[in-house]
Amino acid sequence: MESAYLKLVAGIVALAAGAGAVVFVISLIQKLPPIATPASSSAGAPPVTTTAPAATSGFPTPPAGSVVLGAEEGTNALGLAVLPQSGGILLQASVVGTQGNGLRGLSVRFHVRGSSNATVAGTPCGPGCYRANAPVARPAAVTVSVGAHDVAFAMPEQWPAPSGAKLVADASRVYRGLHTLVIHDTLGDGHNRLDTIYTIVAPDRLSYEVVGNSRAIIIGNKMWYRLPHERVWHEQPQLPVQQPSPFWVTAVDAHVLGSVSLDGRPAWKVSFFDPRTPGWYTLLLDKETLRTRDMLMTAHAHFMHDTYSGFDAPLSITPPSG
């Protein structure tokens, strides 16, 4: 089942100033699992699993065991899967349109650079699915050409890439165990982008500001929000949120892409596919603390980049005054 922010909102294009922004951001932050009832929204987040539930009908799910990566391709979501095989690699491009449907009839080519170089044409393998085999034993980079658009992907430092399943599971537990957290979120649909700053205090306090737009505060079963260019705060009932909670639910085919330095601290770079979004994730995880420092998420009409700070900082969220 889709996460709530993907299920409830068609995309940022439909986002209007004012109450629409409030509805959008609340649906975004409540997200996973689905929030059809107060019980489901206030229950603790389930542990991240590494087994894939049934794929969304018609969705071009990556082959099991692949290294999986995602990126924007215009307004489409592009997923790349690379699977080691005897004498080379299997490549799959998943091209997903704005309505979550796999796109047929595309011209897709893979340009592989590594121990040798190869360019191969993708063969349709279902809606939005294009596959090819390349005789490259150790890929260093893959560029996917979808029509006239080229999207480049760096391959893991080590090949075959080591599993990142335990890293993601441990990092997810660390995320859920935080007392406070600040998220700087950029979310786009291929046309527009929305910048939002979230402040979270466990277990059910949240404030956010859509830059240049709305503000809101959630405490338990109440929400206060202020529309653009207003001074008055509006109060209304609210299904309690359970935060902090990662955006992903399942982490399938998690692999370690390598090590990076982030603000002078070493971090693991890990990617995986979440069939429950459905979407592709790349995380930067602090090596010492396993805190999630950075997240890229690619899903249909939702291209998200989050940076994280304020870990267990002395933050507070209180009702608005006046």
Residue 277 sits at φ, ψ, to 5 deg, of: -75, -50
Q: How far apart, in whole angstroms, are the C-alpha atoms of residue 99 and residue 306? A: 23
Q: Highest mean pLDDT range out of 3-7, 21-25, 189-193, 312-316?
A: 312-316
Per-residue pLDDT, averaged over 154-170, amounts to 98
pLDDT band at 10 (very low <50, low <70, confident <90, very high): very low
pLDDT tens track for 15-43: 333 334 444 444 444 442 222 222 222 22
| Residue ranges of domains in the chain | 4-48+164-309, 72-154
Residue 185 sits at the vertex; the CA angle it makes with 184 and 190, to the nearest 5 degrees, is 150
Kindly provide the b/e burial profile for residues 144-181, where b requires at least 16 CB atoms within 10 angstroms of the residue's own CB.
Answer: bbbeeeebebebbeebebbebbebbbebbebbbebebb
The pLDDT, as a whole number, for residue 229 is 85
pLDDT at residue number 321: 86
For the domain covering 72-154, report its CATH number: 2.60.40.1930
Instruction: State the pLDDT at residue 24.
Output: 44
**Mean per-residue pLDDT, 212-239:** 93
CATH number of 4-48+164-309: 2.50.20
Q: Is the pLDDT of residue 47 over 90?
A: no
Mean pLDDT of all residues in the chain?
85
Where does the pLDDT of residue 206 fall: very low under 50, low under 70, confident under 90, or very high at 90 and above? very high
pLDDT tier, 57 (very low <50, low <70, confident <90, very high otherwise): low
pLDDT at residue 26 in the model:
45
Pair 269, 257: CB distance under 8 Å: yes
pLDDT-derived band at 220 (thresholds 50, 70, 90) equals very high
Has residue 95 got a pLDDT over 90? yes
**pLDDT value, residue 52:** 34
First to last CA, the chain: 41
The percentage of residues in the chain with a pLDDT greater than 90, rounded to a whole number, is: 79
What six digits make up the tokens of 250? 């399942």
Instruction: Average the pLDDT over 101-124 and give the result.
Output: 97
Strands 234-237 and 108-114: unpaired
What is this structure's pTM?
0.85
